[in-house]
C-alpha cells in the first residue's frame, strides 16, 4: 500500500499538477493540505474521473485538508481536531481506509513569533498530542500525515542558524514534535533515512529549489503496529520543479500488506 501526503498550496490552481502526479505515481491513499478552497469548490469530479474517492474539509482562501483513496471506500471518522470547539480553521480530517486510520493534518505556521500565532500553534500541538494518545489506545493501525510546519532537527533545515527564531524551528515547537513522537510514533522518513538530508519544501524565492535550500516539514508518523510494515519512503522531489507547482513536494511511504 502506497500512502502519500502533499501540500498542494491551492487545489484548484494546482489541479493539473495534482492530476499529473496522481497519474504518474498512482498512490493508494493521499492526504492533501492547504486546499485554499471552500467546501463547494473542491474539484471532486476531476478527482473521481482520475479514479479517486475523496473527503475534504474546505475553507475559503485558507487552510483545508482532504483524503483521497484510489477506487476504495473512505469512511470519515472525524472532521476537525478535538479540544477546541471554537476553532474554525480547517486543519484536520480523519478516515478509515483499507484497514488503517488516516489522520490528515495541516499544523499552523505560527509566525510571526513570539505572538498569538505561535501560541495558537502550540495549543494546536497540545490538542494533537492528546488526540494522538487516544488513537494509540484504540490499538488500530494509524498514520498521521501532513504538513507539520516543524523541522525536527538541524538535519531537516538548510542553514539552521538562520531559522533559530522562526516558529517552524523554535525550541518549544521542536520539543512539541519530539513529545508527540515519543508517545510511540515512528517518523517514517527518518527510519528509512536516519542520517540523510531530506527536504520536502523549497521556497519560491531566491532560487531555493535550484540551490536545494529546503526544509523537511511534511511528515509521516506511524503507530507502533505499522513500524514493522514500513518498506520504503521518499519524496517526489522532481514534482517541485514542474511548472506552476506547489512549493512542497509530495512525500510517500510504502507499507507491506497484512
Report, as residue numbers or ranges, the catalytic residues.
Answer: 106, 147
Q: What is the C-alpha separation between 7 and 16, in angstroms, rounded?
A: 14
Quote the cell numbers at residue 46. Answer: 476531476
Strand order in the sheet with 142-147: 75-79, 92-97, 100-106, 142-147, 218-222, 186-187
Helix, strand or coil for residue 85?
A: coil
Beta bridge partners of 134: none
Instruction: Give the pairing type, strands 186-187 and 201-202.
Output: unpaired
Beta strands in 20-110 (DSSP E): 29-33, 52-57, 65-70, 75-79, 92-97, 100-106
**CA 15, 21, 27, 32 torsion-angle sign:** negative
Amino acid at each position: 500500500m502506497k500512502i502519500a501526503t502533499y501540500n498542494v498550496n491551492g487545489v484548484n490552481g494546482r489541479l493539473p499538477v495534482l492530476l499529473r502526479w496522481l497519474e504518474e505515481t498512482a498512490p493508494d491513499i493521499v492526504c492533501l493540505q492547504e486546499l485554499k478552497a471552500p467546501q463547494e469548490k473542491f474539484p471532486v469530479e476531476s478527482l473521481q474521473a482520475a479514479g479517486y474517492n475523496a473527503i475534504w474539509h474546505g475553507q475559503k482562501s485558507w487552510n483545508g485538508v482532504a483524503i483521497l483513496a484510489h477506487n476504495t471506500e473512505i469512511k470519515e471518522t472525524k472532521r476537525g481536531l478535538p479540544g477546541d470547539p471554537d476553532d474554525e480553521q480547517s486543519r484536520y480530517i480523519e478516515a478509515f481506509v483499507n484497514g488503517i486510520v488516516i489522520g490528515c493534518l495541516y499544523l499552523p505556521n505560527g509566525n510571526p513569533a513570539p505572538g498569538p500565532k505561535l501560541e495558537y500553534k502550540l495549543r494546536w500541538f497540545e490538542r494533537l498530542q492528546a488526540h494522538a494518545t487516544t488513537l494509540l489506545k484504540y490499538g488500530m493501525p494509524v498514520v498521521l500525515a501532513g504538513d507539520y510546519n516543524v523541522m525536527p532537527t538541524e538535519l531537516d533545515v538548510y542553514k539552521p542558524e538562520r531559522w533559530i527564531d522562526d516558529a517552524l524551528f523554535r525550541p518549544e515547537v521542536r520539543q512539541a514534535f519530539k513529545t508527540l513522537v515519543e508517545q510511540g510514533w515512528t517518523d517514517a522518513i527518518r527510519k528509512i533515512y536516519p542520517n540523510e538530508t531530506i527536504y520536502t519544501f523549497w521556497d519560491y524565492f531566491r532560487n531555493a529549489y535550484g540551490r536545494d535550500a529546503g526544509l523537511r516539514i511534511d511528515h509521516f508518523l506511524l503507530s507502533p503496529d505499522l513500524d514493522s510494515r514500513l518498506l520504503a519512503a521518499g519524496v517526489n522531489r522532481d514534482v517541485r520543479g514542474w511548472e506552476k507547482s506547489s512549493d512542497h513536494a509530495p512525500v510517500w511511504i510504502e507499507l507491506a500488506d497484512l
